[in-house]
A and B are shown apart, each in its own frame.
Chain A
Amino acid sequence: MKRLPCAIVLLSTALSTTACQDRWYSVPPQRQPPADYHPHAARVVNMDDYDADLRFVRDIAPKTDTSWRWTGQRPAIKIKVRAINNLTYTIDFTLPDITFKYTGPVTVAFTVNDHVLDRVRYDTAGYKHFEKEVPPEWLTIDADAIIGAELDKMWTSPGDGKSFGIILTQMGLKQ
């Protein structure tokens, strides 16, 4: 009677151990890379993308119901880079009349990971587009790239003292 609990424990341990030891398996079906697999190398962030706010690094106004955002002086976003070759910096923005008439011509430095890709002086207000290929050595695969712009001047509202840069529509890297 006294040995019964010990016997039960030993039996169950033996059974479970045996069950574990005796398990043999055949070779499973072999997985193959999908033929139609072409992951994006990078991304252009539209300001009305549902996840746009997750990409912002600095100086971009938080979520609104519009497809554009006001920026500060050094707007920047981050983008995960899957490949480094043949990537082009691209940005669409507007220099609004309301600010331009006070600031006059604005020079914008376009940056990638703190490297200045180019510097452009804009002498007129209105919609602007810029794009230029990014040197691959500035980028790292599977790491975030910081895509930015730096304005040389901003307009400050005399009413509330807030400063405004550009109206940003989209920004990022495309292949």
Chain B
Amino acid sequence: VIGEALAPLWGAALTIAACYAAGTALISRLGTSLQPAERFPLAFVLGAACLHLTMFTVFALKIATRPVLFALAIGVIGVAIWNHVQNNRVQPRDAAPAKFSWTENPPAFGYAAIFIVFTVLYFITAWAPEASADGSGYHLELISRYLDAHGFFPITTNLYAGFAQGAEMLYAMAFSFGGHAAPAVVHLCFAVALAFAMLAYGIRIGKWWVGAAAALLVYVTPVVGKDASAAYIDVASAAIAFCVFYWLEVWDESRDDRALIAVGLLAGYAFATKLTGGALVPYALVFAAWRSWKRREGMMKRVLLIGVCAAWMMSPWLVKNWIYLGDPIFPFGASVFRNPNMHVSAIEEFVAFSHGYRITDQRLPVELFVRGDVVGGFLGPVFLALPLALLSLRNQTGRRLLLAGAVVMIPFFANLHARFLIPVLPFLSIAMILPLSNLPRAAAALAAFHALASWPPVVRSYINPLPWTLTRSPLAAALRRETQDGYLRRTLPGYPQARLIEAHVPEQGRVFAFSGIATSYTSREVLVGHMAALNQNMNDALVIGWDSESQPRMTIVFRFAERALQRIRIVQTARLPLHQQWGVHELRYYRGGVEIPRSPAWRLHASPNPWEVQFAFDNSPATRWRTWETALPGMYIETDFGTDQRLDEVRVETSRTDRDAKLQVETFSKTDETNKTNEKMQWVKIASDPEQREVSSAPWFRRAATDELHARGVEYLLIQDRDFGAADFDEDPESWGLEIVARESGMTIYKITAHKVTP
């Protein structure tokens, strides 16, 4: 038990030490003048950026084994120590430390006490087994799979695999030595670093209490505490964003261009940690350019320096995505970088799902500040005083803070959840406290009030139901006096499902699930229904199995005078409402009422989504080609017969969900449906106004659906009772070609017994 309890601390300590060492070594090389209070936070975060890139290289080389990672960590620490001991010549020139005396500043003890109390709470929570949804889901699942493979490999069935993993690269090192709980401790270190950086900023502007009060405003904020003590990345993003701002201030004050290397690296790392952090790159570029222009100094060199350093951090992720997934900003570039791994509609739905509220909703402030129910956590009532921050516009410091905050806030409007405001909080908090800079007691009172209002027992007294926030300190779980299994079954929805899979699905088994589970707690691959194009197609097949509206119960028949043609298109001509798709289950060609057998000589194409055109020609009632984006005029399915083919009828088998599409048949010819002859070959309409027929359904939808899954290597299904269609699987597993492997409260694992088709 002791070993189990200490392992996360060992993994985290090694990673944190490696980050700090890397940062210290680089700062020494840069020779930038820093105050003592600035060294830990700036070195840790800058080092994290460097270590992440090294880890990326290790994963890219597929040598990510424990000995290699250990050697890497020890090597980085060793280099830093060697550098410190041997290379005095390039030691940083510490700026004159600001005057500060604990005895002359008794409120500092209060700030420190609050900080320590919350740190203990956070630390115990982080130390306990990882029980967060995203942490135990994709953040740790993906690094776990990469570690198992000792390196990167294409994961095309999980949209999160395309997210840059700047923080997760550090978590991977911690995870490999400390297991699931270690990454959260590393993340917590970012929160501590952020608080220290804000304190250091207060000292830098000559008013430590401004930094201390603002740091506490951020640090004790409920959503920050919850996030920081889990394997999330939002607080890391906040720390990185603030450090970009900080290094720019250091550069602006010192005029030492070497600081811009840190700016560029960190701005790029902000992107590598979270795509939205990319906003810091143009911010840094514009700030540097603007300040250079104001000083009548050359801006190009500086802009280039930042740009190159940022690109160094960003480009590995862009290239990895482009090579593996066909979209450098996967999954968000699906509509531009068309690829077979992600449907455009999935991103549209992902973005729509991300909006808890509309920005114009009058309840949003209440949700963000005091309820947190819909927006996934809350900031605390103290932030109702946010308008105070506007008073800081009176001075340059405040204006710069609010400008940086505004830039960092832009992504929030695309995802209205409280934790996406975390990167903005450092800027807003300092700007809030600045107007009180001559009233240190008022600043202290504000911080003390916020701490009190954020303490879990107090939160419980004024918010019901509790939002995403810390509720109590899981000390027994942290010390492993309560078993990990017992603790997670009690606290983590999705964990029992993962363990059920682990117990009943053989190694290398692939499982399909309609909804997400704690995938990092199973070594089996779990394909969640909405996570990628392949998953969505399987999801669609299963829905077709039980949902009559999605089954091909309608045939659209086009008749025209018999003619010889080589290429033919079914073209959709209507502009359908947003998110409404067009789909075709089967497309068949006839002559004299007899279907023309499909020939290997035929060539098939579709636009959009050409990769799935075969679904319209596979004779399966459980598959369909779909646009997977809003249907627009001009979308089509094309067949090239290879040679002239005589036909007089086209039948489009489709479902009632696709009834709004307006179709016509076109061919590549000189003559159109009215026998009018054009000068050159072009696409001409030969039939429209089709007849629509309702048809009785094939009885084997269910079996056909599971056959499709099996053909794609999926042999197991996890169906939870709350899943749509769950009752249908329960009702008659045999008709699905399934047998029950295991059942626990609320969930069933089925094995697909049908296996007669090939991909």
B702 interface contact, C-beta 8 A: yes
Q: Which of A25, A30, A40, A79 contacts B604 (CB 8 A)?
A: A25
Which of the 9-residue segments A14-22, A87-95, A112-120 touches chain B? A14-22
Q: Is the CB of A27 within 8 A of B614?
A: yes
Q: Is the CB of B338 within 8 A of A19?
A: yes
Q: Measured between C-beta atoms, what is the minimum distance from B321 to chain A in Å? A: 12
Q: Which of B338, B707, B732, B754 contacts A39 (CB 8 A)?
A: B732
- Chain B: number of interface residues, binned into ranges: 35 or more
Q: Is the CB of A40 within 8 A of B618?
A: no
Q: Which of A33, A34, A54 contacts B730 (CB 8 A)?
A: A54
Q: Is the CB of B735 within 8 A of A33?
A: no
Q: Write the chain B residue with the least CB distance to A80.
A: B731
Q: Which residues of B have CB within 8 Å of A102? A: none
Q: Measured between C-beta atoms, what is the minimum distance from B696 to chain A in Å? A: 10
Q: Is the CB of A54 within 8 A of B727?
A: yes
Q: Is the CB of A16 within 8 A of B605?
A: no
B563 interface contact, C-beta 8 A: no
Q: Is the CB of B604 within 8 A of A31?
A: no
Q: Measured between C-beta atoms, what is the minimum distance from B647 to chain A in Å? A: 16
Q: Is the CB of B605 within 8 A of A31?
A: no
Residues 581-616 (chain B) with a chain A CB within 8 angstroms: 598-600, 602-605, 607-608, 610-611, 613-614
Q: Which of B604, B700, B702, B754 contacts A26 (CB 8 A)?
A: B604
Task: Report Cα–Cα, A20/B610, bound state, in Å.
Answer: 7
Q: Which residues of B have CB within 8 Å of A3? A: none
Against A, the Cβ 8 Å flags (1 = close, 0 = not) of B718-759 are: 000100000110111011010010010000000000101110
Task: Report Cα–Cα, A34/B734, bound state, in Å.
Answer: 13
A158 interface contact, C-beta 8 A: no
Task: Report Cα–Cα, A80/B548, bound state, in Å.
Answer: 14
Q: Which residues of A have CB within 8 Å of B337? A: 12, 16
Q: Is the CB of A39 within 8 A of B604?
A: no
Q: Assess A31 versus B619: contact at CB under 8 Å? Given A25-B604, A54-B727.
A: yes
Q: Is the CB of A34 within 8 A of B599?
A: no
Task: Report Cα–Cα, A69/B740, bound state, in Å.
Answer: 24
Q: Which residues of A have CB within 8 Å of B339? A: 16
Q: Is the CB of B734 within 8 A of A27?
A: no
Q: Is the CB of B702 within 8 A of A25?
A: no
Against A, the Cβ 8 Å flags (1 = close, 0 = not) of B616-646 are: 0111100000000000000000001000000
Q: Assess A34 versus B603: contact at CB under 8 Å? Given A20-B338, A28-B617.
A: no
B703 interface contact, C-beta 8 A: yes
Q: Is the CB of A32 within 8 A of B603?
A: no
B699 interface contact, C-beta 8 A: yes
Q: Indicate the member of B604, B640, B721 with the most A CB atoms within 10 Å.
A: B604
Q: Is the CB of B699 within 8 A of A23?
A: no
Residues 61-118 (chain A) with a chain B CB within 8 angstroms: 79-80, 82
Q: Which of B327, B605, B640, B743 contacts A50 (CB 8 A)?
A: B743
Q: Is the CB of B618 within 8 A of A24?
A: no
Task: Report Cα–Cα, A54/B435, bound state, in Å.
Answer: 61
Residues 135-175 (chain A) with a chain B CB within 8 angstroms: 142
A51 interface contact, C-beta 8 A: yes
Against A, the Cβ 8 Å flags (1 = close, 0 = not) of B462-478 are: 00000000000000000
Task: Report Cα–Cα, A20/B609, bound state, in Å.
Answer: 8
Q: Is the CB of A37 within 8 A of B703?
A: yes
Q: Which residues of A have CB within 8 Å of B407? A: none
Task: Report Cα–Cα, A32/B707, bound state, in Å.
Answer: 11
Q: Is the CB of B598 within 8 A of A27?
A: yes
A13 interface contact, C-beta 8 A: yes
B698 interface contact, C-beta 8 A: yes
Q: Which residues of A have CB within 8 Å of B698? A: 33
Q: Is the CB of A29 within 8 A of B758?
A: yes
Number of interface residues of A (CB under 8 A): 30
Task: Report Cα–Cα, A80/B729, bound state, in Å.
Answer: 11
Q: Is the CB of A40 within 8 A of B730?
A: no
Q: Is the CB of B699 within 8 A of A37?
A: yes
Q: Assess A142 versus B548: contact at CB under 8 Å? Given A27-B617, A39-B734.
A: yes
B704 interface contact, C-beta 8 A: yes
Q: Measured between C-beta atoms, what is the minimum distance from B339 to chain A in Å? A: 8
Task: Report Cα–Cα, A134/B598, bound state, in Å.
Answer: 44
Q: Write the chain A residue with the least CB distance to B618.
A: A28
Q: Measured between C-beta atoms, what is the minimum distance from A155 to chain B in Å? A: 33
Q: Is the CB of A27 within 8 A of B707?
A: no
Q: Is the CB of B640 within 8 A of A31?
A: no
Q: Is the CB of A82 within 8 A of B730?
A: no
Task: Report Cα–Cα, A40/B736, bound state, in Å.
Answer: 10
Task: Report Cα–Cα, A16/B608, bound state, in Å.
Answer: 12
Task: Report Cα–Cα, A43/B737, bound state, in Å.
Answer: 16
Q: Is the CB of A16 within 8 A of B338?
A: yes
Q: Which residues of A have CB within 8 Å of B695? A: none
Q: Write the chain A residue with the least CB distance to B546.
A: A142
Q: Which of B614, B721, B734 contacts A54 (CB 8 A)?
A: B721
Q: Which of A21, A25, A33 contacts B607 (CB 8 A)?
A: A21
Q: Assess A25 versus B338: contact at CB under 8 Å? Given A30-B619, A31-B707, A37-B703.
A: no
B336 interface contact, C-beta 8 A: yes
Q: Measured between C-beta atoms, what is the minimum distance from B748 to chain A in Å? A: 8
Task: Report Cα–Cα, A31/B585, bound state, in Å.
Answer: 13
Task: Report Cα–Cα, A21/B619, bound state, in Å.
Answer: 25
Q: Which residues of B have CB within 8 Å of A27? A: 598-600, 602, 604, 614, 617
Task: Report Cα–Cα, A61/B327, bound state, in Å.
Answer: 56
Task: Report Cα–Cα, A47/B405, bound state, in Å.
Answer: 62
Q: Which of A20, A24, A29, A37 contacts B757 (CB 8 A)?
A: A29
Q: Is the CB of B640 within 8 A of A51?
A: no
Q: Write the chain A residue with the least CB distance to B604.
A: A25
Task: Report Cα–Cα, A61/B743, bound state, in Å.
Answer: 21
Q: Which residues of B have CB within 8 Å of A25? A: 603-605, 610, 613-614
Q: Which residues of B have CB within 8 Å of A51? A: 730, 743
Q: Which residues of A have CB within 8 Å of B618? A: 28-31
Task: Report Cα–Cα, A39/B703, bound state, in Å.
Answer: 9
Task: Report Cα–Cα, A48/B735, bound state, in Å.
Answer: 21
Q: Which residues of B have CB within 8 Å of A50? A: 740, 743
Q: Which of B327, B602, B735 contacts A82 (CB 8 A)?
A: B735
Task: Report Cα–Cα, A50/B743, bound state, in Å.
Answer: 8
Task: Report Cα–Cα, A80/B758, bound state, in Å.
Answer: 31
Q: A25-B610, A31-B704, A39-B732 are in contact. List 6 more A-B contacts (CB 8 A).
A: A16-B339, A26-B602, A27-B599, A34-B703, A34-B756, A40-B734
Residue pairs across A and B with Cβ atoms less than 8 A apart, 25 shown, are A12-B328, A13-B336, A16-B326, A16-B327, A16-B339, A19-B326, A20-B607, A24-B604, A25-B614, A26-B603, A26-B604, A27-B604, A27-B617, A28-B617, A29-B757, A31-B704, A33-B704, A34-B700, A34-B754, A37-B700, A37-B703, A37-B735, A39-B735, A40-B732, A54-B730
List the interface of chain A (C-beta within 8 A of B): 12-13, 16-17, 19-21, 23-34, 37, 39-40, 43, 50-51, 54, 79-80, 82, 142
Which are the 4 A-B pairs with shortest beta-carbon distances?
A: A39-B735, A31-B620, A23-B610, A20-B338
